Structure 1
Amino acid sequence: MKYSVNCSILLTELPLLERPAAAKAAGFDAVEFWWPFETSVPTDAQVTRFENAITDAGVQLTGLNFNAGDMPGGDRGLVSWPARSAEFLDNVDVVAGIGERLGCKAFNALYGNRIDG
């Protein structure tokens, strides 16, 4: 049986890119993450570092959130935010690429807060 740990809410005492290896050391074979970048479209180097942290740890990425905006600031997703729809669509391409390269097939798009209008 394969167990997965959400590295965005557990192992938070470690830097994000160290969490996949820590998860493996703790006995997990798989990891999932909320959106691990500050922007919807991170640089290629940022994406590569994230992907390498997972593959180097020898774990499978089993779940990944789309960018939900500034979660600590109260954002809860971009899907229902008309002014950020282009940003969400750009994020889809990034998420799909990560999923394709790492074999991840489960993604979570947070609907978000209700926007007037």
Structure 2
Amino acid sequence: MPRFAANLAYLFTERPLLERFGAAAAAGFKAVELQYPYDQSPAAVRAELERHKLTQLGLNTAVGGREGDSGLGAVPGREAEWDAVFQQALDYTVAIGGRAIHCMAGKVPSEQRPAAEKTFVANLTRAADLAKDKGVTLLIEPINTRDRPNYFLNRIEQAADIIGKVGRPNVKIQFDFYHVQIVSGDLIKRFEAHQPLVGHVQIAAVPSRAEPDEGEINYPAVFEALDRLGWSGWTACEYKPRARTEDGLGWGRKYGLGG
């Protein structure tokens, strides 16, 4: 049976961030992930995790300090800024007892894509070496260009190629079924083909990005496939609830969600 985690940047947003941990636990989640928690002290976040016996999964590197930034990992000429935001994420992750960092690639114009790939590989290589001794996994996530135009990393196959060039075992794919469906489809076959490189899974309905009980993805079939394929990692709910988060958890009742 899938193990579901709550993305606290999307779920329980009716509450301040520090109150979302308790709400997630009350709804039956055993793990959480964050995005940009940096305005909260690591000690305060860790206290909530421990109070509610939650496993902390990943968080994101900061997007950057310029208007329109969407990450810095693959942006040529901004390597020093990347090093700074990655170190911030690593220090924060270690302080709260987290397991992973989603390394945001950023937006680049089409003519810069060859240079951006070299930049991303070099930046990830340095970052992976820093994270290795901390027991932290780096995640890279293909994101669809409908939601995020000019984002550098779009396809699962592209992510796999980059991981091969980095050549570090602690760099993995964040396989978000929402983004993969929009970009490529053929979800189960694509997951199976790349499963050895997958470090994390996320879900949301397509095209609405709401609860995984509507739209063009048959999530019960996806969950059955993940079980059949032996996926033992977490499946994170990174969707935008249609209304109050708790009111939309009916889809997860048979999996122990809903309180």
- Do both proteins adopt the same fold according to a TM-score greater than 0.5, normalized to the shorter chain? yes
TM-score range, shorter chain: 0.7 to 0.9
Query: Is the deviation greater in 18-27 or in 29-38?
Result: 29-38
Q: Identity, % of aligned pairs?
A: 31
Structure 2 residue identity aligned to 1:36: P
Query: Is the deviation greater in 52-61 or in 23-32?
Result: 52-61
- 2:178 aligned residue: none
Kept after mapping to 2: 8 A contact 1:6/1:31: yes
- 1:12 aligned residue: 13
Structure 2 residue identity aligned to 1:96: L
Query: Is the deviation greater in 19-28 or in 75-84?
Result: 75-84
Kept after mapping to 1: 8 A contact 2:56/2:98: yes
**Structure (1 or 2) with the greater helix fraction:** 2
Deviations 1:53-80 (A, max 9, x none): 222222111121111237xx64311213
The verdict on how the C-alpha distance between 1:83 and 1:48 changes in structure 2, with shifts beyond 3 A counting, is farther
Query: Is the deviation greater in 89-98 or in 24-33?
Result: 89-98
Alignment of 1:75-114 (within 5 A): 75-82=69-76, 84-114=78-108
In the alignment, the residues of structure 2 paired with residue 47 and residue 104 of structure 1 have an alpha-carbon distance, to the nearest angstrom, of 11
Query: Is the deviation greater in 56-65 or in 87-96?
Result: 87-96
Kept after mapping to 1: 8 A contact 2:43/2:95: no
Superposition TM-score, scaled by structure 2 size: 0.37
The verdict on how the C-alpha distance between 1:84 and 1:47 changes in structure 2, with shifts beyond 3 A counting, is farther
Unaligned runs of 5+ in 1: 39-44
Structure 2 residue identity aligned to 1:50: V
Query: Is the deviation greater in 105-114 or in 49-58?
Result: 49-58
- 2:124 aligned residue: none
In the alignment, the residues of structure 1 paired with residue 64 and residue 91 of structure 2 have an alpha-carbon distance, to the nearest angstrom, of 19
How many residues in Structure 1 have an aligned counterpart in Structure 2? 109
Structure 2 residue identity aligned to 1:90: A
Structure 2 residue identity aligned to 1:107: I
- 2:207 aligned residue: none
The verdict on how the C-alpha distance between 1:9 and 1:88 changes in structure 2, with shifts beyond 3 A counting, is same
Unaligned runs of 5+ in 2: 113-259
Superposition TM-score, scaled by structure 1 size: 0.74
In the alignment, the residues of structure 2 paired with residue 84 and residue 21 of structure 1 have an alpha-carbon distance, to the nearest angstrom, of 38
Tell me how far 1:101 sits from its aligned partner: 4.0
